[in-house]
Structures are given as C-alpha cells and as structure tokens.
C-alpha cells in the first residue's frame, strides 16, 4: 500500500537531510536522495521521486530562485536550469 504524502506546508521540521532522514518515514519510503537524476528533465525527476518516496512533496524550481532554507523532512527541491534539466542532486530536507 502506498504511503500518504505528508502535507506541505507546514514544514515537518527535522535535523536531517538525505539518507539521514530514514527513521522519519515508514519502511515503504525507499529513497531519500537521488544523485542519479542530475541531467534528466525536472518533471521526470519529480515523478521518480514521488514513486520512490510517497511521503514527500516535490517542487521543481530554477536554480537561483528564492526558497525557504529551513530543513523539512516532507519536502524535496528539484533544481533545474533554463532547459528544465536537473543540475543538483535532489534530496529530502
């Protein structure tokens, strides 16, 4: 059974990022960081992240956009360039 996405906002604040957040989720959350998605289309990356961890909210944004820098265990930023290509490894936090 697929997990239920933790709403965002509000931020589920935590003191971890990436794989260090493993204990925050039930066992069916399979991944917490996605270095293999660098170089793919942002929306493709978003869909993969949502399949791998159904508890997070994924936001595709352009590099240089103003974002909130708090650490949220229910959020993943997917940074893309002007061609909508992922340029940083997405991770929970």
Domains and CATH numbers, the chain: 24-92 (3.30.10.10)
Predicted local distance difference test score (pLDDT) of residue 43: 98
Predicted local distance difference test score (pLDDT) of residue 3: 66
pLDDT in tens, 24-77: 777 777 788 999 999 999 999 999 999 998 889 999 999 999 988 888 888 999
Compute the chain's Rg from CA coordinates. 12
Q: Does residue 73 contact residue 14 with C-beta atoms inside 8 Å?
A: yes
For 4, which DSSP code?
P
CA-nearest of 50, 49, 38 to 80 is: 38
pTM beyond cutoff 0.75: yes
């Amino acid at each position: 059974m697929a997990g239920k996405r933790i709403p965002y906002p509000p931020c589920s604040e935590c003191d971890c990022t990436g794989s260090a957040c493993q204990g925050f989720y039930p066992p069916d959350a399979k991944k917490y960081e996605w270095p293999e998605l660098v170089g793919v289309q942002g929306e493709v990356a978003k869909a993969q992240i949502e399949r791998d961890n159904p508890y997070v909210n994924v936001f595709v944004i352009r590099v240089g956009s103003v974002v909130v820098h708090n650490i949220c265990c229910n959020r993943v930023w997917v940074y893309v360039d002007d061609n909508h290509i992922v340029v940083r490894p997405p991770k929970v936090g």
